[in-house]
Structure 1
Amino acid sequence: MGRVSQAQAEENRRRVVDTASRLFREQGTHISVADLMKAAGLTHGGFYKQFASKDALIGEATAHAFEGLTRQRDDGLEQYGGQREAAQRALIDAYLSTEHRDSPADGCPAAALAADMAREPEDREARRVYTEGVGDFAEWLATEDTEGEEGADGLTRLCTMLGALVLARATKGSPLSDQILAAAREALTVDQQGA
């Protein structure tokens, strides 16, 4: 069997990171390297040619997931002509939707990876990347009036959104799940209208 070209190796790496990002959000970071590589359509042996360790991949996949969230925010700003409040409202509505609740693999890494990151040692790259991503998200959610004031209202919004999403996922299939999403949307709508 011939050697893989550099371009193919880069494509394989990108595919593993993308697959890991989705699977970690959907199933947790405990998924085995063998299962992850199988899902990416690659051999288990190829993993260590691309990554120093599974921990290194967790950090890279976490960064990749937060980059997707940043693109979503930027797309919202563009869609709403730079009007931050309108873009925030659209993101809050999408975040607290049944579609987002039912699609953790494509959803917010802050919610999907919270339990896994709580178990990560503080000195791990994944934990650092996750913490930065959460902080950036909270800062973006802050109203322009409070931006720079430690982002307290951004943190409050993020906690409300993230907590509601986690609880809605945990109670999915019951009427309570939809009620949780609706209550959080209403609370944040009132908050935003008062801002």
Structure 2
Amino acid sequence: MGRVSQAQAQENRKRVVEMASQLFREQGTSVSVADLMKAAGLTHGGFYKQFASKEALIDEAVTHAFHELAERRATTLEDNGGERTAAQQAMIASYLSARHRDSPAAGCPAAALASDMARDPGALGAHHTYADGVSDFADWLDTDDQDGIIRLCTMLGAVVLARATKDSPLSDEILDAARASLTPTP
């Protein structure tokens, strides 16, 4: 088989990072390189031509996931006419929804990767990226009345618990209670 062009190699790398970002959020960072490459439609052997190690890929995938989250926040702000409070409330409603609970692969990396970041001290770069992403999200959620870290902890904890109790009525109750606690009453 012939060598791929530099452009194709860059496209393959991008595809692997995007797929890893999704699979790691959905299944955790323990996904094997072979399974990841298969999901990306590439051969296992090509992995080490693109990445120095799985840890290097984890770093890039976590960075990619937090960039997606930042883009969602920017889009939400734009969709709400630049009104930060309205954008925050829209983000909270979306975050604490059954759709987000049921779609970890496309969801918030802070919630999906929390356990992996706590368990895997080998992915040092990913830990820094994760901490920066969590801090950035908390800053974005900050208001005069509510601390962004408290809001994020409420949201993240609710999603983690709702996912863990997904097949129970308690799951929706958790999401509803968290949403109510973060929604201002008139």
2:169 is the counterpart of 1:175: yes
2:42 is the counterpart of 1:42: yes
Q: 1:99: which partner in 2?
A: 99
The ranges of structure 1 where at least 4 consecutive aligned residues each deviate by more than 3 angstroms after the TM superposition are: none
Report the 3-state secondary structure (helix = DSSP H, G, I; strand = E; otherwise coil) of the residue aligned with 1:31: coil
Structure 1 segment 1-195 matched on structure 2, within 5 A: 1-121=1-121, 124-143=124-143, 145=144, 153-190=147-184, 193=185
Q: CA deviation at 1:2?
A: 1.3
Q: Take 1:49 and 1:123, find their aligned partners in 2: how far apart are those partners?
A: 20
Q: CA deviation at 1:35?
A: 0.5
Which residue identity does 2:131 align to in structure 1? Answer: T
Q: TM-score, normalised by structure 1?
A: 0.92
Q: What do residues 125-184 of structure 1 show as CA deviations (whole Å, max 9, x unaligned)?
A: 0101000000000000001x37xxxxx710000000000000000000110000000000
Q: 1:149: which partner in 2?
A: none
Structure 1 stretches lacking a partner, 5+ long: 147-151
Q: CA deviation at 1:81?
A: 1.2
Q: TM-score, normalised by structure 2?
A: 0.97
Q: What do residues 33-85 of structure 1 show as CA deviations (whole Å, max 9, x unaligned)?
A: 00100000000000000000000000100000000100000001111111000
Q: CA deviation at 1:123?
A: 7.0
Q: Take 2:71 and 2:60, find their aligned partners in 1: how far apart are those partners?
A: 17
Q: CA RMSD in A?
A: 1.4
Structure 2 stretches lacking a partner, 5+ long: none
Q: How many residues align?
A: 186
- Compare 92-101 and 121-130 and name the one that shifted more: 121-130
8 A contact 1:110–1:162 mirrored in 2: yes
